[in-house]
Amino acid sequence: MDLFDIGSEQNALKNAPLAYRMRPQSLDEVVGQKSIAPGSVLRKAIEKDQLHSFILFGPPGTGKTSIARIIARISNSHFEYLSAVASGVSDIKKTAADAANRSKFYQLRSILFVDEIHRFNKGQQDVLLPFVEDGTLLLVGATTENPLYELNSALLSRMKIYFLEALSPQDISKVIVSALQDKGRGLGDYNISIDDESLAWMAVNCKGDARMALNILETVVNSFYEPDSQLQINTELLQKVMARPLLKYDRTGDVHYDSTSAFIKSIRGSDPDAALFWLAYMLEGGEDPKFIARRLIVHAAEDIGLADPFALVLAVSAAQSVALVGMPEARIPLSEATIYLATAPKSNSSLAIDAAISAVRQSKRIKVPDHIADTSHSQASSLLGKGKGYKYPHNYGGYVEQKYLPDNLLQESFYKPGENGNEIKIKNFLKNLPQNK
């Protein structure tokens, strides 16, 4: 069935999944979304049928497609639906040509809803752009991926972005109760009840996804309900259906970057509990453990560094362990490295390399001082004065004062020891060198 074929919709409702039957039929039935709340810009535009091109951005099960269906139901415009997964350039051009004809001969505006619009590649977006720009098509897109990353700037500049949030547990509870009570579209004709504890458990573990909640509810009913009897839904039944709560995680989008940021910042902030939580979240979400291990290596060098040089050794060992044993065992060395790094003294003094790189880039001429230049690769080197005057530190007890920087950089200081851990020793060592006394 065409998702927006309203005429045939009623005939399909009887055998349709519960989540489909319980889709909101009006704007008032959309729960938990400020973007569509009474008085909002989008709500007014829909009610007045004065729409503009826009993107609905949010996680699954938050009502993006339902809002589009409501627009299709109440708008006086012609409504077209395309799935970005199954549509190509020819589909876009045909839809635009039909829209141009409707506008020319019937003065009828056309709204195009593109589901998963982030799946359109740059070429497809470029084809769509002129039809949006000249008003041939009023574009409504739905996406679970950040449109600022997935859509080109030219298309975005002609559209507004409305954010849909994951539903709160209270909103999910409303959806479940409504489905249990609704006799027309839901399960109201069944003798089914759910206790408050089980309802709360279900609402929390559905992670803000109304579709997931309704699918789980339907599975419980199909599996355990017997005609002419009562079904009491409890946590035990729910756990049989939903043994392991699903996480909303992506390995290329905002969740990936945000959780990685939270993980590293928790380690940097010396909070092992938070660091372990975000590690667990990434692993449970399906994040590549090799990626996590690489981030630990970078963090050990960047944020701990010489305050505890063993941190880098342990991080590299954890990465090797991940490569050797794989998951699920790799979670243990990753945990060990995470705890060690979170509780290690911190120093970012290794970023001194950035100051040195800046000095290299700004120097008009770089010449290695003759006394520390190489003399081993060519006999001609000594004729050029290379190596002359070099003092071998071990002949002076391990240290002798001499210059090592180019003449124009003798006053530069790149490395500044931190005040934590092993760097206190390093700082004292440098301070006690004869040249620094």
* pTM exceeds 0.85, yes or no: no
User: What pLDDT is attached to residue 409?
Assistant: 85
Q: Are residues 57 and 179 in the same domain?
A: no
User: What pLDDT is attached to residue 246?
Assistant: 59
Which residues form the domain of 259? 254-343
pLDDT tens, residue by residue, 411-435: 888 888 888 888 888 888 888 877 6
pLDDT band at 214 (very low <50, low <70, confident <90, very high): very high
User: What pLDDT is attached to residue 343?
Assistant: 94
pLDDT tens, residue by residue, 32-42: 999 999 999 99
pLDDT band at 369 (very low <50, low <70, confident <90, very high): confident
Q: Are residues 32 and 143 in the same domain?
A: yes
User: What pLDDT is attached to residue 1?
Assistant: 40
The whole-number average pLDDT for the span 318-336 is: 92
| Number of domains the chain is built from | 4
- Boundary of a domain, candidates 219, 241, 263: 241
Q: Is the pLDDT of residue 248 over 80?
A: no
194 pairs with which residues across the strands? 233
User: What pLDDT is attached to residue 263?
Assistant: 95
pLDDT tens, residue by residue, 259-290: 999 999 999 999 999 999 999 999 988 889 99
User: What pLDDT is attached to residue 163?
Assistant: 93
Structure tokens given for 22:
């319980």
Q: Are residues 202 and 271 in the same domain?
A: no
Over the Cα atoms of the chain, what is R_g?
A: 32
- Boundary of a domain, candidates 163, 198, 229: 163
The whole-number average pLDDT for the span 170-176 is: 94
- Boundary of a domain, candidates 163, 186, 205: 163
User: What pLDDT is attached to residue 377?
Assistant: 63
User: What pLDDT is attached to residue 341?
Assistant: 95
Q: Are residues 17 and 142 in the same domain?
A: yes
The CATH number for 103's domain is 3.40.50.300
The CATH number for 207's domain is 1.10.8.60
